[in-house]
Chains A and B, each alone.
Chain A
Amino acid sequence: MENWRYIEEHKVSASYGLGVDEFLMDQHTSSSENPIYLRLYTYKNYSALSGRFQDLSAEIDIEQCNQEGFGYSRRLTGGGAIIMGEKQLGICLAAPSSAFSWNHVRELYELFSTPIIQTLNELGINASFRSKNDLEVGSKKIAGLGVYLSPEGNIQFHASLLLDMDIPEMMKVLKIPIQKYSDKKKILSVSQRLTTISKELVREVSIAEVSDLIKKNFSKHFNIELVEGALTSEEKSKVKEIELNRYLNDDWIFQNSPQADMTGMSLKKTSAGLLRTYIGLKGNTIKSVLITGDFFEQSEILNQIETNLKWSPLELDNVEEVVRQVFDKTDGSNIGMEQEDIVSNIWRAGQRAMIGEKYTYNGSCYYPEGEKEEEKQEVG
Protein backbone atom coordinates (compact mmCIF):
# COMPACT_ATOMS: atom_id res chain seq x y z
CA MET A 1 0.00 0.00 0.00
CA GLU A 2 1.35 3.39 -0.99
CA ASN A 3 2.04 6.01 1.69
CA TRP A 4 0.95 9.59 1.37
CA ARG A 5 2.19 12.28 3.73
CA TYR A 6 -0.51 13.86 5.82
CA ILE A 7 -0.19 17.35 7.22
CA GLU A 8 -2.67 19.03 9.53
CA GLU A 9 -2.40 22.67 10.57
CA HIS A 10 -4.76 25.12 12.16
CA LYS A 11 -5.34 28.84 12.36
CA VAL A 12 -2.70 29.68 9.78
CA SER A 13 -2.25 33.06 8.09
CA ALA A 14 -3.36 33.72 4.50
CA SER A 15 0.21 33.81 3.16
CA TYR A 16 1.35 30.74 5.09
CA GLY A 17 -1.72 28.72 4.11
CA LEU A 18 -1.16 29.38 0.42
CA GLY A 19 2.63 29.16 0.74
CA VAL A 20 2.55 25.62 2.14
CA ASP A 21 0.21 24.45 -0.63
CA GLU A 22 2.66 25.74 -3.23
CA PHE A 23 5.69 24.34 -1.38
CA LEU A 24 4.15 20.87 -1.29
CA MET A 25 3.29 20.96 -4.97
CA ASP A 26 6.83 22.06 -5.86
CA GLN A 27 8.35 19.13 -3.97
CA HIS A 28 7.45 16.90 -6.89
CA THR A 29 9.59 18.99 -9.21
CA SER A 30 12.68 18.76 -7.02
CA SER A 31 12.34 15.02 -6.53
CA SER A 32 10.08 12.42 -8.01
CA GLU A 33 10.63 10.37 -4.85
CA ASN A 34 8.51 12.67 -2.72
CA PRO A 35 5.15 11.28 -1.63
CA ILE A 36 1.77 12.68 -2.51
CA TYR A 37 0.67 15.17 0.13
CA LEU A 38 -2.75 15.56 1.68
CA ARG A 39 -3.11 18.62 3.85
CA LEU A 40 -6.12 19.52 5.97
CA TYR A 41 -5.97 22.96 7.50
CA THR A 42 -7.83 25.97 8.73
CA TYR A 43 -7.03 29.65 8.49
CA LYS A 44 -7.24 32.02 11.38
CA ASN A 45 -10.37 34.16 11.45
CA TYR A 46 -10.39 35.42 8.74
CA SER A 47 -8.45 35.26 5.50
CA ALA A 48 -9.89 36.61 2.26
CA LEU A 49 -8.46 34.88 -0.80
CA SER A 50 -9.08 36.05 -4.33
CA GLY A 51 -8.99 33.80 -7.39
CA ARG A 52 -5.89 33.74 -9.61
CA PHE A 53 -7.06 36.26 -12.19
CA GLN A 54 -9.45 38.39 -10.20
CA ASP A 55 -9.02 42.07 -9.56
CA LEU A 56 -8.43 41.61 -5.84
CA SER A 57 -9.40 45.08 -4.74
CA ALA A 58 -12.68 44.81 -6.67
CA GLU A 59 -13.55 41.64 -4.77
CA ILE A 60 -12.12 42.27 -1.31
CA ASP A 61 -12.43 45.38 0.82
CA ILE A 62 -8.77 45.86 1.78
CA GLU A 63 -9.44 48.80 4.08
CA GLN A 64 -11.98 46.76 5.99
CA CYS A 65 -9.60 43.77 6.14
CA ASN A 66 -6.95 45.98 7.71
CA GLN A 67 -9.45 47.40 10.15
CA GLU A 68 -10.69 43.96 11.17
CA GLY A 69 -7.25 42.37 11.17
CA PHE A 70 -8.20 39.94 8.40
CA GLY A 71 -5.51 38.58 6.11
CA TYR A 72 -5.79 38.57 2.34
CA SER A 73 -3.89 37.27 -0.65
CA ARG A 74 -4.25 35.80 -4.13
CA ARG A 75 -4.51 32.06 -4.76
CA LEU A 76 -2.92 30.07 -7.57
CA THR A 77 -6.27 28.45 -8.30
CA GLY A 78 -9.05 30.12 -10.26
CA GLY A 79 -12.63 30.99 -9.37
CA GLY A 80 -13.99 33.66 -7.08
CA ALA A 81 -12.95 35.27 -3.80
CA ILE A 82 -13.56 33.23 -0.63
CA ILE A 83 -13.34 33.77 3.09
CA MET A 84 -11.53 31.13 5.10
CA GLY A 85 -11.38 30.81 8.87
CA GLU A 86 -11.50 28.39 11.73
CA LYS A 87 -14.75 26.74 10.61
CA GLN A 88 -13.91 26.36 6.94
CA LEU A 89 -11.74 23.35 6.21
CA GLY A 90 -9.05 23.70 3.56
CA ILE A 91 -8.23 20.47 1.75
CA CYS A 92 -5.13 20.45 -0.40
CA LEU A 93 -3.77 17.58 -2.41
CA ALA A 94 -0.38 18.02 -4.08
CA ALA A 95 0.93 15.44 -6.49
CA PRO A 96 2.80 14.96 -9.73
CA SER A 97 0.25 14.75 -12.52
CA SER A 98 1.71 11.38 -13.53
CA ALA A 99 0.54 9.89 -10.22
CA PHE A 100 -3.00 9.51 -11.49
CA SER A 101 -4.52 8.19 -14.65
CA TRP A 102 -6.30 11.15 -16.21
CA ASN A 103 -6.59 12.99 -19.46
CA HIS A 104 -8.97 15.73 -18.63
CA VAL A 105 -9.06 18.19 -15.77
CA ARG A 106 -12.73 17.44 -15.08
CA GLU A 107 -11.63 13.92 -14.21
CA LEU A 108 -9.34 15.33 -11.55
CA TYR A 109 -12.19 17.28 -9.99
CA GLU A 110 -14.32 14.17 -9.81
CA LEU A 111 -11.48 11.99 -8.58
CA PHE A 112 -10.45 14.24 -5.72
CA SER A 113 -13.91 15.38 -4.70
CA THR A 114 -15.26 11.83 -4.36
CA PRO A 115 -13.84 11.29 -0.81
CA ILE A 116 -15.26 14.68 0.19
CA ILE A 117 -18.70 13.76 -1.12
CA GLN A 118 -18.43 10.40 0.67
CA THR A 119 -17.63 12.27 3.88
CA LEU A 120 -20.68 14.48 3.50
CA ASN A 121 -22.84 11.47 2.70
CA GLU A 122 -21.59 9.67 5.80
CA LEU A 123 -22.52 12.69 7.86
CA GLY A 124 -26.00 12.43 6.40
CA ILE A 125 -25.76 15.20 3.82
CA ASN A 126 -26.79 14.51 0.25
CA ALA A 127 -24.09 16.43 -1.59
CA SER A 128 -23.12 16.18 -5.23
CA PHE A 129 -20.61 17.53 -7.71
CA ARG A 130 -21.86 20.54 -9.62
CA SER A 131 -20.81 21.17 -13.18
CA LYS A 132 -19.03 24.42 -12.42
CA ASN A 133 -16.78 22.73 -9.91
CA ASP A 134 -18.53 23.22 -6.62
CA LEU A 135 -20.09 20.70 -4.29
CA GLU A 136 -23.69 21.46 -3.60
CA VAL A 137 -26.59 20.39 -1.44
CA GLY A 138 -29.82 21.04 -3.28
CA SER A 139 -28.83 24.10 -5.21
CA LYS A 140 -26.67 25.56 -2.43
CA LYS A 141 -22.91 25.53 -2.41
CA ILE A 142 -21.23 23.69 0.47
CA ALA A 143 -17.68 23.51 -0.91
CA GLY A 144 -15.68 25.24 -3.60
CA LEU A 145 -13.10 23.34 -5.64
CA GLY A 146 -10.09 24.44 -7.65
CA VAL A 147 -7.31 22.83 -9.66
CA TYR A 148 -3.96 24.33 -10.60
CA LEU A 149 -1.68 22.57 -13.06
CA SER A 150 1.89 23.80 -12.80
CA PRO A 151 4.21 24.15 -15.80
CA GLU A 152 6.40 21.46 -14.22
CA GLY A 153 3.55 18.98 -14.44
CA ASN A 154 2.31 19.02 -10.86
CA ILE A 155 -1.24 19.21 -9.58
CA GLN A 156 -2.63 21.28 -6.77
CA PHE A 157 -6.21 20.37 -5.95
CA HIS A 158 -7.92 22.58 -3.44
CA ALA A 159 -11.27 22.45 -1.70
CA SER A 160 -12.80 24.76 0.87
CA LEU A 161 -15.45 22.93 2.85
CA LEU A 162 -17.89 24.98 4.88
CA LEU A 163 -18.50 23.57 8.34
CA ASP A 164 -20.02 26.82 9.38
CA MET A 165 -20.05 30.39 8.11
CA ASP A 166 -20.51 33.65 9.89
CA ILE A 167 -22.15 35.46 7.01
CA PRO A 168 -22.12 38.94 8.58
CA GLU A 169 -18.35 38.62 9.12
CA MET A 170 -17.91 37.44 5.56
CA MET A 171 -19.96 40.34 4.25
CA LYS A 172 -17.70 42.81 5.98
CA VAL A 173 -14.87 42.20 3.54
CA LEU A 174 -16.24 40.38 0.52
CA LYS A 175 -17.69 42.79 -1.97
CA ILE A 176 -20.83 41.32 -3.41
CA PRO A 177 -23.04 43.08 -5.90
CA ILE A 178 -25.79 44.05 -3.49
CA GLN A 179 -23.67 46.28 -1.33
CA LYS A 180 -26.35 48.87 -0.76
CA TYR A 181 -28.91 46.42 0.46
CA SER A 182 -29.70 46.41 4.13
CA ASP A 183 -27.58 44.00 6.15
CA LYS A 184 -30.58 41.77 6.68
CA LYS A 185 -31.24 41.50 2.94
CA LYS A 186 -27.60 40.86 2.18
CA ILE A 187 -27.37 38.09 4.74
CA LEU A 188 -30.57 36.55 3.42
CA SER A 189 -29.30 36.73 -0.13
CA VAL A 190 -26.06 34.92 0.73
CA SER A 191 -27.70 32.33 2.98
CA GLN A 192 -30.07 31.45 0.15
CA ARG A 193 -27.08 30.49 -1.99
CA LEU A 194 -24.78 28.63 0.34
CA THR A 195 -25.09 26.11 3.11
CA THR A 196 -22.80 24.56 5.71
CA ILE A 197 -22.39 21.18 7.37
CA SER A 198 -23.66 22.55 10.69
CA LYS A 199 -26.69 24.09 9.04
CA GLU A 200 -27.57 20.87 7.24
CA LEU A 201 -27.18 18.72 10.35
CA VAL A 202 -28.66 21.31 12.73
CA ARG A 203 -25.81 20.78 15.16
CA GLU A 204 -22.32 22.07 15.67
CA VAL A 205 -19.77 19.94 13.87
CA SER A 206 -16.09 20.04 14.75
CA ILE A 207 -13.16 20.26 12.35
CA ALA A 208 -11.77 17.07 13.98
CA GLU A 209 -14.93 15.09 13.24
CA VAL A 210 -14.90 16.07 9.58
CA SER A 211 -11.12 15.72 9.21
CA ASP A 212 -11.20 12.15 10.54
CA LEU A 213 -13.83 11.19 7.98
CA ILE A 214 -11.97 12.89 5.16
CA LYS A 215 -8.76 11.08 6.07
CA LYS A 216 -10.57 7.77 6.21
CA ASN A 217 -12.29 8.33 2.87
CA PHE A 218 -9.15 9.49 1.06
CA SER A 219 -7.30 6.41 2.37
CA LYS A 220 -10.08 4.12 1.23
CA HIS A 221 -10.72 5.78 -2.12
CA PHE A 222 -7.06 5.84 -3.17
CA ASN A 223 -6.09 2.68 -1.27
CA ILE A 224 -3.25 4.46 0.51
CA GLU A 225 -2.00 4.97 4.02
CA LEU A 226 -1.75 8.49 5.36
CA VAL A 227 1.43 9.00 7.36
CA GLU A 228 1.47 12.07 9.58
CA GLY A 229 4.43 14.31 8.95
CA ALA A 230 4.34 17.89 10.17
CA LEU A 231 6.51 20.41 8.33
CA THR A 232 10.09 20.55 9.61
CA SER A 233 11.71 23.88 10.47
CA GLU A 234 13.77 23.61 7.30
CA GLU A 235 10.62 23.16 5.24
CA LYS A 236 8.98 26.05 7.04
CA SER A 237 11.84 28.34 6.15
CA LYS A 238 11.34 27.44 2.47
CA VAL A 239 7.65 28.23 2.87
CA LYS A 240 8.65 31.61 4.30
CA GLU A 241 10.58 32.35 1.12
CA ILE A 242 7.52 31.51 -0.98
CA GLU A 243 5.39 33.75 1.25
CA LEU A 244 7.79 36.66 0.84
CA ASN A 245 8.18 36.19 -2.90
CA ARG A 246 4.54 35.71 -3.66
CA TYR A 247 1.76 35.70 -1.10
CA LEU A 248 3.02 38.70 0.88
CA ASN A 249 4.27 40.47 -2.22
CA ASP A 250 2.09 43.34 -3.42
CA ASP A 251 3.15 42.71 -7.01
CA TRP A 252 1.46 39.32 -6.83
CA ILE A 253 -1.46 40.34 -4.65
CA PHE A 254 -2.48 43.45 -6.55
CA GLN A 255 -1.49 42.43 -10.06
CA ASN A 256 -3.84 43.51 -12.79
CA SER A 257 -5.57 40.95 -14.88
CA PRO A 258 -5.51 41.80 -18.58
CA GLN A 259 -9.23 41.09 -18.76
CA ALA A 260 -11.42 43.84 -17.38
CA ASP A 261 -13.85 43.17 -14.55
CA MET A 262 -17.17 44.83 -15.30
CA THR A 263 -20.45 44.96 -13.50
CA GLY A 264 -23.98 45.83 -14.50
CA MET A 265 -27.44 45.88 -13.03
CA SER A 266 -30.93 45.87 -14.46
CA LEU A 267 -34.42 46.21 -13.05
CA LYS A 268 -37.56 44.90 -14.65
CA LYS A 269 -41.22 44.97 -13.73
CA THR A 270 -42.77 41.55 -14.09
CA SER A 271 -46.21 40.22 -13.32
CA ALA A 272 -44.79 38.89 -10.06
CA GLY A 273 -43.14 42.12 -9.04
CA LEU A 274 -39.82 43.89 -9.48
CA LEU A 275 -36.95 41.73 -10.69
CA ARG A 276 -33.36 42.81 -10.04
CA THR A 277 -30.40 41.26 -11.79
CA TYR A 278 -26.78 42.01 -11.00
CA ILE A 279 -24.04 40.68 -13.22
CA GLY A 280 -20.27 40.54 -12.99
CA LEU A 281 -18.24 40.01 -16.16
CA LYS A 282 -14.65 39.09 -16.81
CA GLY A 283 -14.16 40.18 -20.38
CA ASN A 284 -17.02 38.50 -22.24
CA THR A 285 -17.49 35.81 -19.62
CA ILE A 286 -20.12 35.89 -16.90
CA LYS A 287 -18.34 35.41 -13.60
CA SER A 288 -21.32 36.02 -11.34
CA VAL A 289 -25.05 36.61 -11.57
CA LEU A 290 -27.43 37.48 -8.82
CA ILE A 291 -31.12 37.41 -9.59
CA THR A 292 -33.29 38.69 -6.85
CA GLY A 293 -36.60 40.30 -6.10
CA ASP A 294 -38.58 41.32 -3.07
CA PHE A 295 -41.58 39.31 -4.12
CA PHE A 296 -40.53 35.72 -3.69
CA GLU A 297 -38.44 33.42 -1.57
CA GLN A 298 -35.28 32.71 -3.47
CA SER A 299 -36.23 29.73 -5.54
CA GLU A 300 -34.03 26.84 -6.58
CA ILE A 301 -34.81 27.77 -10.16
CA LEU A 302 -33.12 31.12 -9.88
CA ASN A 303 -30.18 29.62 -7.97
CA GLN A 304 -29.79 27.08 -10.74
CA ILE A 305 -29.87 29.74 -13.43
CA GLU A 306 -27.23 31.73 -11.55
CA THR A 307 -25.02 28.65 -11.22
CA ASN A 308 -25.37 27.53 -14.81
CA LEU A 309 -24.61 30.98 -16.16
CA LYS A 310 -21.45 31.30 -14.12
CA TRP A 311 -18.30 31.10 -16.28
CA SER A 312 -20.33 30.93 -19.47
CA PRO A 313 -20.23 33.50 -22.30
CA LEU A 314 -22.35 36.62 -22.26
CA GLU A 315 -24.18 35.74 -25.45
CA LEU A 316 -27.92 36.02 -25.86
CA ASP A 317 -28.19 32.47 -27.22
CA ASN A 318 -26.36 31.14 -24.20
CA VAL A 319 -28.51 33.05 -21.70
CA GLU A 320 -31.70 31.90 -23.45
CA GLU A 321 -30.51 28.31 -23.54
CA VAL A 322 -29.51 28.24 -19.85
CA VAL A 323 -32.82 29.72 -18.71
CA ARG A 324 -34.80 27.43 -20.99
CA GLN A 325 -32.98 24.32 -19.77
CA VAL A 326 -33.56 25.20 -16.13
CA PHE A 327 -37.25 25.90 -16.78
CA ASP A 328 -37.56 22.61 -18.68
CA LYS A 329 -35.91 20.63 -15.90
CA THR A 330 -37.89 22.22 -13.11
CA ASP A 331 -41.33 23.60 -12.77
CA GLY A 332 -40.60 27.15 -13.82
CA SER A 333 -44.23 28.17 -13.76
CA ASN A 334 -44.38 28.56 -10.00
CA ILE A 335 -42.14 31.60 -9.79
CA GLY A 336 -44.75 33.75 -11.44
CA MET A 337 -42.77 35.19 -14.32
CA GLU A 338 -41.91 34.31 -17.87
CA GLN A 339 -38.58 32.96 -19.07
CA GLU A 340 -38.37 36.01 -21.29
CA ASP A 341 -38.50 38.35 -18.27
CA ILE A 342 -35.48 36.66 -16.76
CA VAL A 343 -33.55 36.42 -20.02
CA SER A 344 -34.11 40.04 -20.98
CA ASN A 345 -33.16 41.30 -17.56
CA ILE A 346 -29.93 39.29 -17.47
CA TRP A 347 -29.11 40.39 -20.98
CA ARG A 348 -29.75 44.04 -20.17
CA ALA A 349 -27.56 43.87 -17.06
CA GLY A 350 -24.84 42.27 -19.17
CA GLN A 351 -25.11 44.89 -21.89
CA ARG A 352 -24.85 47.64 -19.32
CA ALA A 353 -21.73 46.06 -17.89
CA MET A 354 -20.22 45.80 -21.38
CA ILE A 355 -20.84 49.41 -22.29
CA GLY A 356 -19.20 50.52 -19.12
CA GLU A 357 -22.16 51.53 -17.02
CA LYS A 358 -20.03 50.43 -14.17
CA TYR A 359 -20.95 50.76 -10.58
CA THR A 360 -18.32 50.50 -7.92
CA TYR A 361 -18.98 48.21 -5.03
CA ASN A 362 -17.96 50.68 -2.40
CA GLY A 363 -18.63 54.02 -3.98
CA SER A 364 -21.73 56.07 -4.23
CA CYS A 365 -22.13 55.20 -7.89
CA TYR A 366 -22.64 51.51 -7.17
CA TYR A 367 -26.34 51.73 -6.81
CA PRO A 368 -26.86 55.35 -7.53
CA GLU A 369 -28.50 57.91 -5.33
CA GLY A 370 -31.61 56.64 -3.66
CA GLU A 371 -32.62 53.11 -4.49
CA LYS A 372 -36.30 53.95 -4.93
CA GLU A 373 -35.68 56.90 -7.22
CA GLU A 374 -33.30 54.85 -9.25
CA GLU A 375 -35.80 52.05 -9.59
CA LYS A 376 -38.39 54.46 -10.95
CA GLN A 377 -35.98 55.57 -13.65
CA GLU A 378 -34.42 52.23 -14.45
CA VAL A 379 -37.30 49.86 -14.70
CA GLY A 380 -37.41 48.50 -18.20
Chain B
Amino acid sequence: MTIEINKYKLRTDLFYDPENHYWIAINKGVAKIGLSPLVQETSGSFVAIQFNKEKDVFARKESIGSLEAEKHVSHMKAPLSGKVIAKNEAVIENPRLLNTDSYGEGWLVEIELSDEENEMKYLLQDEEEIKIWFENEIKKHEEKGWIAQ
Protein backbone atom coordinates (compact mmCIF):
# COMPACT_ATOMS: atom_id res chain seq x y z
CA MET B 1 0.00 0.00 0.00
CA THR B 2 1.26 3.48 -0.83
CA ILE B 3 0.36 6.59 1.14
CA GLU B 4 1.34 10.16 0.44
CA ILE B 5 2.90 12.26 3.19
CA ASN B 6 3.55 15.79 1.99
CA LYS B 7 4.78 15.10 -1.52
CA TYR B 8 6.44 11.79 -0.64
CA LYS B 9 4.97 8.51 -1.73
CA LEU B 10 5.65 6.02 1.05
CA ARG B 11 5.02 2.32 0.73
CA THR B 12 3.71 1.02 4.01
CA ASP B 13 3.68 -2.66 3.04
CA LEU B 14 7.47 -2.76 3.52
CA PHE B 15 9.74 -2.74 6.54
CA TYR B 16 11.86 0.31 7.32
CA ASP B 17 15.22 0.73 9.03
CA PRO B 18 14.71 4.14 10.70
CA GLU B 19 18.39 4.65 11.48
CA ASN B 20 19.59 4.34 7.90
CA HIS B 21 16.41 5.20 6.04
CA TYR B 22 16.17 1.94 4.13
CA TRP B 23 13.05 0.24 2.94
CA ILE B 24 13.25 -3.54 3.18
CA ALA B 25 11.10 -6.14 1.45
CA ILE B 26 11.45 -9.60 2.99
CA ASN B 27 10.49 -12.73 1.14
CA LYS B 28 11.45 -16.24 2.28
CA GLY B 29 14.44 -15.10 4.29
CA VAL B 30 15.77 -12.74 1.60
CA ALA B 31 15.71 -8.98 2.16
CA LYS B 32 15.64 -6.62 -0.79
CA ILE B 33 16.87 -3.19 0.26
CA GLY B 34 16.57 0.36 -1.05
CA LEU B 35 16.60 3.94 0.17
CA SER B 36 13.58 5.71 1.64
CA PRO B 37 12.01 8.43 -0.52
CA LEU B 38 13.15 11.10 1.92
CA VAL B 39 16.83 10.24 1.96
CA GLN B 40 16.96 9.86 -1.79
CA GLU B 41 15.79 13.45 -2.10
CA THR B 42 17.71 15.12 0.70
CA SER B 43 21.08 13.53 -0.08
CA GLY B 44 21.26 15.25 -3.44
CA SER B 45 22.26 13.60 -6.66
CA PHE B 46 24.01 10.26 -6.19
CA VAL B 47 27.17 10.17 -8.28
CA ALA B 48 28.98 6.98 -7.41
CA ILE B 49 28.36 3.73 -5.63
CA GLN B 50 30.78 0.95 -4.83
CA PHE B 51 29.97 -2.29 -3.04
CA ASN B 52 32.44 -3.99 -0.73
CA LYS B 53 34.42 -6.37 -2.93
CA GLU B 54 36.29 -8.10 -0.15
CA LYS B 55 33.47 -10.15 1.26
CA ASP B 56 29.78 -10.88 0.90
CA VAL B 57 28.77 -11.85 4.44
CA PHE B 58 28.02 -8.92 6.74
CA ALA B 59 26.98 -8.42 10.31
CA ARG B 60 24.25 -5.87 10.95
CA LYS B 61 25.67 -2.30 10.75
CA GLU B 62 28.78 -3.40 8.82
CA SER B 63 29.55 -1.44 5.67
CA ILE B 64 28.34 -3.15 2.52
CA GLY B 65 29.74 -0.36 0.37
CA SER B 66 30.11 3.36 -0.02
CA LEU B 67 28.48 6.05 -2.06
CA GLU B 68 29.01 9.66 -3.02
CA ALA B 69 26.35 12.36 -3.26
CA GLU B 70 27.21 16.01 -3.74
CA LYS B 71 30.75 15.65 -2.49
CA HIS B 72 30.11 13.72 0.69
CA VAL B 73 31.09 10.11 0.89
CA SER B 74 29.33 7.78 3.30
CA HIS B 75 28.79 4.09 3.83
CA MET B 76 25.78 1.86 3.39
CA LYS B 77 25.42 -0.14 6.56
CA ALA B 78 23.78 -3.56 6.46
CA PRO B 79 20.38 -3.15 8.16
CA LEU B 80 20.31 -6.89 8.91
CA SER B 81 23.00 -9.58 9.08
CA GLY B 82 23.43 -11.98 6.20
CA LYS B 83 24.97 -12.72 2.84
CA VAL B 84 24.68 -10.35 -0.10
CA ILE B 85 23.33 -12.51 -2.90
CA ALA B 86 22.54 -9.79 -5.45
CA LYS B 87 23.74 -6.28 -6.20
CA ASN B 88 21.74 -4.07 -8.50
CA GLU B 89 23.90 -3.71 -11.60
CA ALA B 90 21.62 -0.99 -12.98
CA VAL B 91 22.21 1.21 -9.97
CA ILE B 92 25.95 0.58 -10.11
CA GLU B 93 25.93 1.81 -13.69
CA ASN B 94 23.56 4.67 -13.00
CA PRO B 95 23.45 5.75 -9.33
CA ARG B 96 20.87 8.39 -10.24
CA LEU B 97 18.30 5.57 -10.08
CA LEU B 98 18.60 5.92 -6.31
CA ASN B 99 17.14 9.40 -6.70
CA THR B 100 14.61 8.77 -9.42
CA ASP B 101 13.16 5.32 -8.73
CA SER B 102 14.04 4.33 -5.19
CA TYR B 103 11.26 1.72 -4.82
CA GLY B 104 11.73 0.31 -8.29
CA GLU B 105 14.84 0.19 -10.46
CA GLY B 106 16.83 1.93 -7.75
CA TRP B 107 17.01 -0.94 -5.24
CA LEU B 108 20.45 -1.65 -3.78
CA VAL B 109 21.07 -5.24 -2.73
CA GLU B 110 19.45 -8.51 -1.75
CA ILE B 111 20.62 -10.11 1.48
CA GLU B 112 20.00 -13.70 2.54
CA LEU B 113 19.28 -13.16 6.21
CA SER B 114 21.18 -15.07 8.86
CA ASP B 115 19.52 -13.80 12.02
CA GLU B 116 16.07 -12.70 10.99
CA GLU B 117 14.43 -13.84 14.19
CA ASN B 118 16.54 -11.64 16.46
CA GLU B 119 17.02 -8.64 14.24
CA MET B 120 13.52 -7.86 13.05
CA LYS B 121 13.02 -5.82 16.21
CA TYR B 122 15.23 -3.12 14.70
CA LEU B 123 12.80 -2.51 11.87
CA LEU B 124 9.55 -0.63 11.71
CA GLN B 125 6.77 -2.79 10.36
CA ASP B 126 3.48 -1.42 11.61
CA GLU B 127 1.80 0.90 9.14
CA GLU B 128 0.92 3.48 11.78
CA GLU B 129 4.43 3.30 13.24
CA ILE B 130 5.97 3.87 9.81
CA LYS B 131 3.67 6.80 9.16
CA ILE B 132 4.51 8.50 12.46
CA TRP B 133 8.24 7.95 11.98
CA PHE B 134 8.17 9.36 8.47
CA GLU B 135 6.06 12.38 9.43
CA ASN B 136 8.49 13.15 12.25
CA GLU B 137 11.45 12.86 9.90
CA ILE B 138 9.83 15.26 7.43
CA LYS B 139 9.06 17.70 10.23
CA LYS B 140 12.67 17.57 11.41
CA HIS B 141 13.92 18.16 7.89
CA GLU B 142 11.52 21.05 7.32
CA GLU B 143 12.51 22.72 10.58
CA LYS B 144 16.14 22.60 9.56
CA GLY B 145 15.31 23.94 6.11
CA TRP B 146 16.60 20.87 4.28
CA ILE B 147 13.38 20.42 2.37
CA ALA B 148 10.88 22.97 1.16
CA GLN B 149 7.78 23.34 3.30
Contacts known (A145-B71, A283-B95, A283-B96); A258 close to B48, Cβ less than 8 A: yes
* Nearest 9 pairs of A and B residues by beta carbon: A53-B48, A151-B63, A149-B74, A78-B68, A151-B75, A147-B72, A79-B71, A133-B71, A78-B73
Interface string of B97-131 (1 = CB under 8 A from A): 00110000000000000000000000000000000
CB distance from A16 to the nearest CB of B (A): 21
Q: Please give me the residue from chain B that is nearest to A255 by CB atom.
A: B50
Chain A 143-180 interface 0/1 with B at a Cβ cutoff of 8 Å (1 = within)? 00111111100000000000000000000000000000
- By a CB distance below 8 angstroms, the chain A residues around B141 are 103-104
Q: Would you mind naming 30 contact pairs between A and B with Cβ atoms under 8 Å apart?
A: A51-B68, A52-B48, A52-B66, A53-B48, A53-B73, A78-B47, A78-B72, A104-B42, A104-B141, A105-B74, A106-B146, A107-B144, A107-B146, A109-B72, A146-B71, A148-B73, A149-B72, A149-B73, A151-B61, A258-B93, A259-B48, A259-B49, A283-B48, A283-B93, A283-B94, A284-B96, A285-B45, A285-B47, A287-B47, A311-B47
In addition to A146-B72, A311-B45, 5 A-B residue pairs with Cβ atoms within 8 Å of each other are A53-B47, A78-B48, A104-B144, A107-B146, A283-B48
CB distance from B67 to the nearest CB of A (A): 9
Tell me which of B47, B62, B73, B144 contacts A77 (CB under 8 A). B73
| A positions within 8 Å CB-CB of B | 51-53, 76-79, 103-107, 109, 132-133, 145-151, 257-259, 282-285, 287, 311-313
Chain B residues within 8 Å of chain A by Cβ, number = 32
B residues 41-88 touching A (CB-CB < 8 Å): 42-50, 61-63, 66, 68, 70-75, 77
Question: In chain B, what residue has the closest Cβ to A131?
Answer: B70
Decide if B77 touches A259 in the complex (CB within 8 Å).
no
Residues of chain A within 8 A of B92, CB atoms compared: 258-259
Q: Closest residue to A283 on the B side, CB-wise?
A: B94
Nearest residue, chain A, Cβ from B77: A151
> Is B140 an interface position by the 8 A CB rule?
yes
B146 touches A285 (CB 8 A): no
Determine if A53 and B50 form an interchain contact, defined as CB atoms under 8 angstroms apart. yes
Beyond A78-B68, A283-B93, is A257–B50 a contact (Cβ under 8 Å)? yes
Minimum CB distance partner of B39 in chain A: A104
Please name the residue on chain B nearest to A312 by beta carbon.
B45
